[in-house]
Structures are given as structure tokens and as C-alpha cells.
Amino acid sequence: MLTFTLRRLLLAIPTLLFISLIIFLLVDLAPGSPMSEIPLTVPPEVRQKMIAALGADQPVFVRYILWLRQFFWVEPAYLLDGWFGTDLAGDQQRILSWQSRSPVFTVIGQRIPQTLTVIGTAYLVGILIAVPIGIYSAYRQYSLFDQLGTFVAMIGFSVPTFFTGTLFIIIFAVWLGWFPTKYDTTLEVTDWASFIRQMQQMAMPVMVLGLANAAAISRYMRSSMLENMGQDYVRTARAKGMTERTVVLKHVLRNSMIPVVTVIALGIPSIFGGAIITENLFGVNGIGAALIGAIHASDLPMVQTLAFIFAVLIVGFNLIADILYGFLDPRIRYD
């Protein structure tokens, strides 16, 4: 298992380097740059200085190599300095946002807690709803409950979050007045009352995203359960005289969780990615909103760094899913 993990980590290095190059080039070569937004009234030599100050006058490969060095060397050094009070980084240049002129990682550090609380909770809620629904739907296939579950899942699948989100805002915020229409990022949970307020403002984005997540996961869970329900070993368990509870929750569920756990693990990077649309709709000032803002402002370092972080997370969770698979399924051994 350890050798497998190490081998996969080594293999991840060229993969990530390749991805970083693609991302860098894609973002860089795409039309639109902050330079094009400098008014034409600015004299050419001033304009040249402004471009040079951003480092944008260098050829693309020089900038790529510099960015790589900043991402893999300078930024971790700053991180360690921050943790242990060392002085590894000196005063080397960090990756700076062209929008705010502040380090990209500082912005990410400010935004990520919002995203994790809201989107992370939504994902968790989605799983908690989806797994029992999937199990029971499969156990009572074609029952009223199953039909209803299928119907709700279809809605979750086919209705986009910007529609359900708007609908939720109209119904629960405007008509019923239960929840605030906008998420207040500055709210700090200090006492019971503010905790209630936090719950209230989280309710709608969490439900909107939770429904979308639950739709997909419950379908995976149901089909995986159904597949295992018909297996011979389930009949064996019944013939042994096990209770239905043991048969379903021990024999069938444990085997059915294998593919579902993989799906869940592979979905985790999307939490960090933030749900761009939902964050914008409810005004959650998270990482997804940061990405959209950076794209609008042609803030290339910010977009490149965020996109690359998502790539790292996806590669990382792929590896985690594979390792989990090995733990869950004794037939798979990595050595």
C-alpha cells in the first residue's frame, strides 16, 4: 500500500506539471488582459512601466517558470514561516493578484472558510440525505417511496441551482420571510442568537446545493444497492437465517458502499472549488466568487493559481479514492 501510494505520488508530479502548463497557457493566451484596460490616454512609456511593474512584459515561458517557482517554493516557504516563525522565504516575490496587489494565497485564505462552511455543509447534508434514500429505494424497489425518490432525484438533476436557488429565495425569503435573502459574510458566531442567524442564512444555499448533490449520490447508492441485492451471497445470508437488518445493512450495504465512497471522495474537490453559481446567487463570499471576480478582472495569476489548486485537489482525491477502494474491497490489493 505504501509503495503504491508513493509510486502514485511520484507519477502525480509530471501529471501536475503538465496540467499547470496547460492551465497557464490557456489562461495566458486567452483574449483579454488587464493591460488592455489601461485607458488610451495614458502615454506609451507610462503604459510600458505599468506592464513591467506587473511582470507582464516577460515572455510567457519565463513567467511560467517564475510562477512555478513561486507556487512550489516561495509560497510553501511563506506558509512554513507563518507556522513556525522561521525566515525561509526572506522577502522573495509572492504570487500577487493583479486586482488587489495582495498575495493570491492571502485572498484564498480569507475566502476558503466561507466556502468550506457553506458548500461543505451542503455536501455533508447531501450525503446524509442521499444514502438512506438510496438504501431504502433499492430495498423497496418500485414502491411509492422509490418512485418519489426517483422523482425528487430527477428534479435535483435536471433543475439547475440558479433556478432552484431563485425559487427558494422567492418562496422562503420573500414570501415567507424565514431566511435572509443574502448571506452575511461578516457575521461572527459568538453566542446562541448569532448561531441561529448563521444557521438561518446558511439554510437556503445548503438546501439548494444539498438537493443537487443528494440527487446524484442517491442514484448511485440505489443502483449499487440493487446490483448487490440480487447477488448470490445475499441469498446465502438469508439462508443462514440472518435478520433482514443484518442482510441489508451488513452484507448488501458494505459491498454497495465501495463505488459510492469513490463517487463521494471524487466529489470533495468540488467543495473547495466552491459552487460558483450558488455562491454568487446567495452572496457567499467564497472561493467560487473569488474565481468569478478574478475572471471578470482578467486577474491572470489569481485564475491560474486557483485553477491549479483545483487540479491538485482532484489529483489528490483521485489517489485517496483509489486507496479507500483498497481498504474497502479486499479483492483489490496494491503491492
Binding site for another protein (CB under 8 A): 231-233, 235-243, 246, 251, 254-255, 328-331
Could you give the CA distance from residue 300 to residue 33 in angstroms, rounded to a whole number? 8
Which residue lies nearer to another protein by CB, 8 or 238? 238
Nearest distance from C-beta of residue 159 to another protein, angstroms: 28
- Residue identified by cell 509560497 is 75
Nearest distance from C-beta of residue 106 to another protein, angstroms: 46
Which residue lies nearer to another protein by CB, 31 or 330? 330
Nearest distance from C-beta of residue 59 to another protein, angstroms: 56
Each as own residue / partner, the long-range contacts of residues 261-266 (CB below 8 Å, 24 or more positions apart, any chain) are: 261/321, 261/324, 261/325, 261/328, 262/321, 262/324, 262/325, 263/216, 263/217, 263/220, 264/127, 264/217, 265/317, 265/320, 265/321, 265/324, 266/314, 266/317, 266/318, 266/321
Q: In whole angstroms, how far apart are CA 322 and each of 15, 88, 224, 227? A: 17, 35, 18, 21
Nearest distance from C-beta of residue 212 to another protein, angstroms: 31
Nearest distance from C-beta of residue 218 to another protein, angstroms: 22
Nearest distance from C-beta of residue 143 to another protein, angstroms: 14
Which residue lies nearer to another protein by CB, 101 or 333? 333
Those residues with Cβ within 8 angstroms of residue 200's Cβ, 6 or more apart along the chain or in another chain: 178, 179, 180
Which residue lies nearer to another protein by CB, 252 or 291? 252
Which residue lies nearer to another protein by CB, 49 or 254? 254
Collapse the DSSP code of 41 into the 3-class scheme (helix H, G, I; strand E, B; otherwise coil) and give the result: coil
Grid cell for residue 237 = 445470508
The rounded radius of gyration (Å) of the Cα atoms in the chain is: 24
Which residue lies nearer to another protein by CB, 177 or 230? 230
Which residue lies nearer to another protein by CB, 15 or 236? 236
Grid cell for residue 96 = 500577487
Nearest distance from C-beta of residue 237 to another protein, angstroms: 7
Q: Are 221 and 161 in contact (CB under 8 A)?
A: no
Grid cell for residue 284 = 457567499
Nearest distance from C-beta of residue 242 to another protein, angstroms: 6
Grid cell for residue 326 = 483498497
Which residue lies nearer to another protein by CB, 28 or 146? 146
